[in-house]
Structure 1
């Protein structure tokens, strides 16, 4: 499925001839401009045929079936009717907050609108603005798969009331809202959730997301993955927009979503996903302008003369404009091709120079052949797959001498470019510490870029502390060792290594555990090197994982050693509680784990934060000290946070009275959710572009 924007559309004269009169029609009040149909290419059925009779039967039974399902799951139904070659497969879904009567009425109308806009089409999909209901029927068995297709993207034309310098912060808040809503959808038996995020300095953001309830939790999560990318591409910085598909839908706005009236600016900016064999303007041609409105428009005598002039001038003007468009497009394409060739040549030279430097250092670092890695990992077999990270899969391997290795194979679409790859190789190869993962070597061959690490058999920290079936494997003594090891590793990076290093992506999934459950900090692709005299830096592009980011970094791009201290504080709270900061929403008053921890601390109920498996193993005074340290690390202002030297000292000084922490960052951000159980406040801080788990954002082409 391909999404067409104005840049993608080919410059055909007939397009301009169609678009210009249609834009004039959009100036007329569009009372019925709410239907968005997709006409499939599975052929036509004959009037009075068996197929038409089967469709008529479904149109009378499916709406009632969907409406009657509201007592069990949601307003949803699938059905098949007839026998091949006249069998019809159908799916109907109403918005989760609709009532049964409104749902049935909407679906009855959808069958009629489908036939009006796609006459005699065997495959038709109908959406409505605001998504009160959607309908698809086809002679193809699309019900046999969970693939989300017929995707329709509608970004708002309006930009937010914020300065460009705060765009990253707005993006952070938007994806906080989207991720938390998506997680709530998978937690709901209705597969539906609405949310609201209130920030005093910005407009309130409202969100609605829904999956068809026949999807599994994983299928629903996968369905939304592409929506994050589409949101970033088509709606970045905009006040609102919606994405509709046959299996899931999403919408966010700066006004309550009960109002589903379509603004003309939204319709004009719709980006339909259609088959390339269909005219790119099919959706506009079939936009639901009522015949009465069109007749009234054409029937006004005062405009007839203007229409005659337009009918003569428009084709000529359209051809001229399209000619100019084609010239500009061809020129830009030629220039773009030249730039790409030059950039590719520069990249090859940089890679060759880098490989040469590595070969000169072969005594301390191994430059592997790709064939060696293939042999070690059994051709990257599924049996050797250890996990899937944000940058690509990680495989277990074994070298001919019996040494076990872990190979990170960078995906070409992962977002980690050659700069990050080179940064990790050159940096981590120089670091020597028991609590830092050891990089054995790398491989660069064509498009393949691989990092070869020591193999650590116990996977990563998140594998244990966030899984109730494994938390008992890491008792309090083991967690103390893990906390101490992470703090020592960070202290080495910040103070005792040859250069001051800021990790910038410290999180549970980047803490690996060896055979003895000793922690090792990994993944230095985003690390920043400082000279000993520097204390902080700034960037135009924020990289890292939302939820672990310090507020000054997420909103302003300012990073320092205190940024890592903030991430350590979040990680410490997660180790103590066994809960992710991202997606923490079972407590009704606060957005995230930081806010919940602060509430318990202020109320003197800090022991309630402890994960059940360690609650009986830790003394109250010791628990108070660890939580106190964690809250000091996540304070809103960087100057209020301790250094890692202070943190290590506080962890090892049981008798010292610690300062009282101030309130943490993000503690008062709220997201309200409405579902069948009432109102709940929750959040998910990790911005996920391709996964519903914490995924690192790595777009920082310059000025690292």
Structure 2
């Protein structure tokens, strides 16, 4: 007869908790993030807010830029996301997916949200984001040690950044991104990257990047590496190469504009959130439910049989029987973990 003690039940419950949460808690920490303004529960605004998380990853313009707006008036929610221009499609989608999961953990039900990873960033608000060049704040990250000659280093860095500023600003309406290098003092090589969201005009991109450049001497004066983010532009430099030589082309979905299209990007409108399909989500819920049901069924039957036949079971058989049950359920949990991992991999590929 199989038996489960109270301590074993606690141990097995812990295994279930860890198994189910292993894949959902794997997102890295943001470089920086900010969130504010609570979302009111059970409202149209909340439904629109949740739609952003589920549908934004499907709006790729073909070059790693995502934008989505849902609702009107007081129920309006807007969002954009941008991947760094030198990463491949899989890395881009995974970065955005991680951002969406992580931001809901660190900023639960906050609709004013901006979060930065090294390779992508995400911005959500309740006003139109596209075309809004106001920079409410920026974040920065210093890298490396001090240079031996600050004036010479800055003298070599400035022309490089200005050149990349012009190259990025001259990009089309699908991508504004540039990388390059220059020789610095003491035979060092300075590598740099500049990027803007592609909805900006050439002048808007240039002005945004210039705003970041103006902070370099204050934030990084003498440092051989640094990066500054705003929600519409980004710059980074270092004496260690940190970008790919050739930028990967992210193939657009059938509904996305082709790279030859010169029309400006506009927000993507969606049908009411209640009509969307959440097949992947339902699959996960179903799998987790089956796991829990199997466990509860086995545990309940074991406890019932133990209560009923306690006097008939020799004490010497208790430990082997308990061990058999533990081995059985551990096997089921490990199998379930593999299934969950496969489902999450399928969802990532689908996005």
TM-score range, shorter chain: 0.5 to 0.7
Report SS of the residue matched to 1:97: coil
Alpha-carbon shift at residue 105 of structure 1 (Å): 2.1
Among residues 240, 244, 250, which one is paired with 1:255 in the alignment? 240
Alignment match, 2:45: 51
Q: Deviations over 1:352-381 (max 9, x none)?
A: xxxxxxxxxxxxxxxxxxxxxxxxxxxxxx
Matches within 5 A, 1:312-351: none
Displacement after TM superposition at 1:230 (Å): 0.5
- Contact in 1 for aligned 2:131/2:199 (Cα 8 Å): no
Compared CA separation, residues 112 and 51, structure 1 to 2 (3 A): farther
Do residues 100 (structure 1) and 89 (structure 2) align? yes
Measure, in 2, the Cα distance between the counterparts of 1:108 and 1:155.
26
In structure 2, the CA distance between the partners of 1:105 and 1:48, relative to structure 1 (3 Å rule), is: farther
Cα contact 2:112–2:126 (8 A) shared by 1: yes
**Do 2:52 and 2:70's aligned partners in 1 also have CA atoms closer than 8 Å?**
yes
Q: Which runs of 4+ in 1 moved over 4 A?
A: none
1:347-386 superposed matches below 5 A: none
Q: Alpha carbons of 1:126 and 1:201: their partners in 2 closer, same or farther (altered >3 Å)? A: same
- Alpha carbons 2:139, 2:228 under 8 Å: kept: yes
Q: How does 1:459-498 map to 2 (within 5 A)?
A: none
Residue of structure 2 in register with 1:222 after alignment: 207
**1:64 aligned onto 2:87:** no
- CA distance in 1 between counterparts of 2:188 and 2:241 reads 11
Instruction: Give SS of 2:74's match.
Output: coil
More relative contact order, 1 or 2 (CA 8 Å, 6+ apart): 2
- Where in structure 2 are there 5+ consecutive unaligned residues? 1-26, 245-351
1:205 aligns with 2:199: no
Q: Which residue of 1 aligns with 2:150?
A: 167
Correspondence 1:90 to 2:99:
no
What secondary structure does 1:123 align onto? Answer: strand
Equivalent of 2:33, from 23, 26, 37? 37
Identify the residue that residue 484 of structure 1 maps to in structure 2: none
Is contact 1:95-1:133 (8 Å) kept?
yes
Q: C-alpha separation between the residues in 1 aligned to 2:219 and 2:166?
A: 22
Change (3 A) 1:175 1:200: closer
Q: CA deviation at 1:199?
A: 4.4
Alpha-carbon distance between aligned partners in 1 of 2:89 and 2:59, rounded to the nearest angstrom: 10
Do the aligned partners of 1:63 and 1:105 also contact (CA within 8 Å) in 2? Answer: no
The aligned counterpart of 1:142 is: 129
Deviation (angstroms), 1:151: 0.6
- Going from structure 1 to structure 2, the CA distance change for 1:202 and 1:34 (only over 3 Å counts) comes to farther
What's the counterpart of residue 445 of structure 1? Answer: none
Where does residue 156 of structure 1 map in the other structure?
Answer: 143
Please report how far the alpha carbon of residue 200 of structure 1 lies from its aligned counterpart in structure 2 after TM superposition: 7.2
| Structure 1: unaligned runs, 5 residues or longer | 1-30, 260-704
CA distance in 1, matches of 2:100, 2:135: 21
Q: Is the 8 A contact 1:107 1:135 kept in 2?
A: yes
Inter-partner Cα distance in structure 2 for 1:192 and 1:157:
24
TM-score by length of 1: 0.29
Question: Which position in structure 2 is the counterpart of 1:182?
Answer: 165
Q: Quote the RMSD (CA, aligned, Å).
A: 2.2
| Cα deviation, residue 180, structure 1 | 1.0
Contact 2:130 2:199 in 1 (8 A): no
1:54 and 1:81 in contact (8 A); partners too? yes
Structure 1 counterpart of 2:17: none
Which whole-Å CA distance do the structure 1 matches of 2:90 and 2:144 have between them?
34
Alignment match, 2:305: none
What's the TM-score once normalised by structure 2's chain length? 0.58
Q: Separation in 2 of the partners of 1:144 and 1:188?
A: 16
- Helix, strand or coil for the counterpart of 2:211? helix
Q: Deviations over 1:4-43 (max 9, x none)?
A: xxxxxxxxxxxxxxxxxxxxxxxxxxx9344421113xx2
In 2, Cα distance between equivalents of 1:219 and 1:181: 15
Distance 2:110 2:29 in 1: 21
How far apart are residue 157 of structure 1 and its match?
5.7
How far apart, CA to CA, are the structure 2 residues paired with 1:214 and 1:110? 21
Deviation by residue 1:125-155 (Cα, 9 ceiling, x = unmatched) = 1101x2x111111113333522233310222
**Residues 208 and 257 in structure 1, CA contact (< 8 A), matched pair in contact too:** no
Shift of 1:121: 0.7
Matching of residue 124 in structure 1 with residue 107 in structure 2: no
Distance in 2 of aligned mates of 1:223 and 1:200: 28
